[in-house]
Structure 1
Amino acid sequence: MEKSVSVEYKSYGVRWYILGIYSIFAASEACVFNTWGPLAQSAKTGFGWSDAAVAWIPNIQIISGMVSLPMAYPVLQKFGFRSTVVFWGAGVHALGIILRCVSLDPTILLVTSLICSALNGWTAAMIEGTLTTLSARWFPAGERTTATGISIGVQMAGLIPPSLIFPRIVTDPGMSITEENGSEEIKNNIKSEVSYILYGEAVLSCLLFVIMLLYFPSHPPSPPSASAKADRYNFFQGIKQIFTQPKNIIAGLAFASVTVPLMWIAVVNQNLNPLGMNQVETGYIGTFIITASFLMNIINSGILSIVACH
């Protein structure tokens, strides 16, 4: 008769550090996504870009993320959780932002910004593909929904600095050009002010990569619950379940409908500037949308965690 092997289930306090650094990394990805939208008028004046060029920067990330998402699970299966997050996620994220700092020449910066967006789209796919794995490996069943909600909420909060702070750092040409203050001087000011943002984001992304490189284990020494070690669906089985079960399709459509107004913040300045609203004012609108989404996400996650325990 075989002896049963007892497994000790334990929750470690370090799980909150792992969730915290992961969430800040996700927020950095969101911040890069929203860099140019709130500064559309400054980008057009300072670098001579068109409305279409500014809009295509976040568009490229969305397209890249959609294309990359199906590859997230195979990458996770082949390289493991740590390598997927640290190297394929944070490493690629930092690489894209560093490339964007190569030159402030308008043409070069536009190209590197598009490349950065494409790499950031890949990063977003790695984040979306590993979030539930983090929750399952590090948190007991009663905390997983909350942990997932916190990470998504912090990622949403990463959209706030570009909307609320960046328009206060970079000159708004519509509010600044006067007879004493010529357009050429404004262009130079805008380029200089934008460089502070680009370099700041690069420093943050590299710092996060180094921190995660030093300590970001794949799993705790002991699992937090039995389900943490349970077998997961095969990737293709999961895809089949998504598209063959009505409840999954409805949930997907509901999520997609929510992201439409949230993604509008990337072009809100371009849409409302013709109505006389400046970058600071449209930034307030974006901030309100993001803050409401962040709070509702945290509240809903907490409610679901409570309900799941009953």
Structure 2
Amino acid sequence: MDLSGTTAISEPGAGEMQVMETKSKRQPEEATPQSFKTYKRRFWILGVFSFLAFFQNLQWNLWGSLSESVDFVFDGFGSGTVAMIANWGTITYLLFSYPCAWIMDKKGIRVAVLIIVSSVTVGTILRAGSLLIGSDVLFLVMCHIGAILNGAVGPLVLQSSAMIAAMWFPPSERTTATGCGQLITLMGGAGSYLQPLVVRSPNPATKEEIRSDIARLLEIYVGVSVGVLVLVFVYFPAKPPTPPSVTSTKERVDLKGSAARLIRNTDYQLTVISMVFCVAVPSAWHTVLNYSLKDIGIDQDEAAGIGFLGVLSSTLFGLLVTRVTDILYGHIKVSLILLMSFDIAFFYWFFLLTWGCIEVTTWQVYVSIICGLSLNAATIPLFTQLAIEFAYPCSELVVVGFLTFGANALMMAFLFLFLIPNIGYSWVIYLLLATSCISILLLVFVKENYRRTNEDKEACVQGE
């Protein structure tokens, strides 16, 4: 360890290190393991970004856990409005996917993260400010605008995780780093289910009391977003001084070239479609979970507990899976099939509960939903790493972009269904089961190929 707080793979003298770093910059293809270094500050970078991603996702799921309260206080709110506000995240994601990828490619991670936190902050200020004016119509409009601003930077949030892992972390930590960024993002959903601790439910609370609670909550969010903006502005470098691995130094294929290659890559295409069917519907479902639970007699407060524990366990279990995957790398496909098989079993259990085949009890609802969501969330970083391995040396921006674009397209279609009058909610569990089964079937035909990892291993062997 040197005095700057970094962990070096070797300990050459200052002059030798300078020569080696210069050589690495000029001729990255000839770099040796002694040219690479990991920095402790990588955990600061990942931590700040992960919290920002957490907060951005919380704003996306802002009203789902408060459905009864906002329905009671504001004219115009209901399941359709709550779903539409959440759906702005998917709609804007599809519209801004390419512009965000271009920004990330041309301007780097620091600029991208500054754009994320600035857009989220403006959205929180608009919502909080409009509520103070006292017009329900203006507040509803600002909720939609805030959701658009929050959703427009969604592609940057999901693309940044894989880029930070590739640029700052060594091969033995990349899946874990990617998983932290992606899974802690899901924790925003858990955070949103804590909102009923601040905002009371109707009866016995009055409209004025609930309105005051919501105003207080939105003011807290303004303070948090401004605080994160300051942290990012003060210190969030674009890349480390010295790369952590040989593939971190290798120039990627440009955006258009990457897209052209991936369209012809059958294993990558199957992986993308499999992930889309696996994760899209459960991810969108948790934003409107209250309505499915209400059908079987679970009220807002109880649903908040289920939603919170579901997302919390999803994050913790997902992080455990990613760490095990890094330690025992090379078995991602088998891991995914096992996770999805158990996932289907728990969603089928919830299906039996919703249709009255099994008597509804609270513990069964908790277990079936929490375990189903946890297993499903754990597949996200594994799908991402498998896709990146297939696509290498294509740009991670395009790889993750295709994955998340497809997922958001299906999520958008799912949430639009709630706008159909009198559609009910019983159809949701059918869709959960159907998409999960399609996903596991497609993955069976994928042939594993760890291109990026194999190149790093070969470079290590040659350098010994």
When normalised by structure 1's length, the TM-score is 0.89
Shift of 1:133: 1.5
**What displacement does 1:286 show?**
1.6
1:55 aligns with 2:83: yes
Larger Rg computed on CA atoms: 2
Tell me the CA shift for residue 274 of structure 1: 4.5
- In structure 2, the partner of 1:215 is 235
Which of 103, 109, 113 lines up with 2:139 in the alignment? 109
- Are 2:251 and 1:244 aligned? no
> Aligned residue for 1:133?
163
Letter in 1 for 2:297: G
Residue pairs, 1:24-103, within 5 angstroms: 24-48=51-75, 49-86=77-114, 88-103=115-130
Match of 2:319 among 295, 298, 303: 298
1:204 to 224, 228, 247: 224
Classify the secondary structure of the residue corresponding to 1:11.
Answer: strand
- Number of aligned residue pairs: 297
Q: Which residue of 2 aligns with 1:180?
A: none
Q: 1:161 aligns with which of 184, 191, 195?
A: 191
Residues 269 and 279 of structure 1 are in contact (CA less than 8 Å); yes or no, is this contact kept in structure 2? yes
Q: Which amino acid aligns with 2:234?
A: L
| RMSD (CA atoms) | 2.0
Change (3 A) 1:255 1:287: farther
Taking structure 1 as reference, are residues 241 and 301 closer, same or farther at Cα in structure 2, changes over 3 Å only? Answer: farther
Q: Which moved more, 1:268-277 or 1:134-143?
A: 268-277
2:39 aligns to what SS in structure 1?
coil
Q: Is the 8 A contact 1:262 1:289 kept in 2?
A: no
Secondary structure of the equivalent of 1:289? Answer: helix
In 1, the alpha carbon distance for the partners of 2:90 and 2:103 equals: 19
Alpha-carbon offset, residue 137 of structure 1? 1.3
- How far apart, in 2, do the equivalents of 1:295 and 1:251 lie? 24
Q: Which has the higher contact order (CA 8 A, sep 6+)?
A: 1
Q: Percent same amino acid among aligned pairs? A: 27
State the match for 1:11 in structure 2: 38
Say whether residues 1:284 and 2:284 are aligned partners. no
Change (3 A) 1:23 1:191: same
Residue pair 2:93, 2:155 contacting (<8 A) in 1 also: yes
Q: SS at the partner of 1:276?
A: coil
Name the amino acid aligned to 2:243. Answer: P
Structure 1 contact 140–224 (Cα < 8 Å) conserved:
yes
Unaligned runs of 5+ in 2: 1-18, 25-34, 330-452, 458-464
- 137-146 vs 300-309, greater mean Cα deviation: 300-309
TM-score normalised per structure 2? 0.61
Q: 3-state DSSP class of the match of 2:102?
A: helix
**Which residue does 1:254 correspond to in 2?**
274
- CA distance in structure 2 between the aligned counterparts of 1:233 and 1:6, rounded to whole angstroms: 22
Change (3 A) 1:74 1:154: same
Instruction: Measure how far apart 1:106 and its partner are.
Output: 1.6
How much does 1:217 deviate?
A: 0.4
Measure, in 1, the Cα distance between the counterparts of 2:223 and 2:98: 30
Q: Is the 8 A contact 2:262 2:269 kept in 1?
A: yes
Q: Aligned AA for 1:225? A: S
Q: Which 5+ residue runs of structure 1 have no aligned equivalent? A: 178-184
Q: Provide the secondary structure at the position in 1 that maps to 2:128.
A: coil
- Residue 226 of structure 1 pairs with residue 246 of structure 2: yes
Letter of the 2:38 counterpart: S
CA distance in 2, matches of 1:279, 1:303: 36
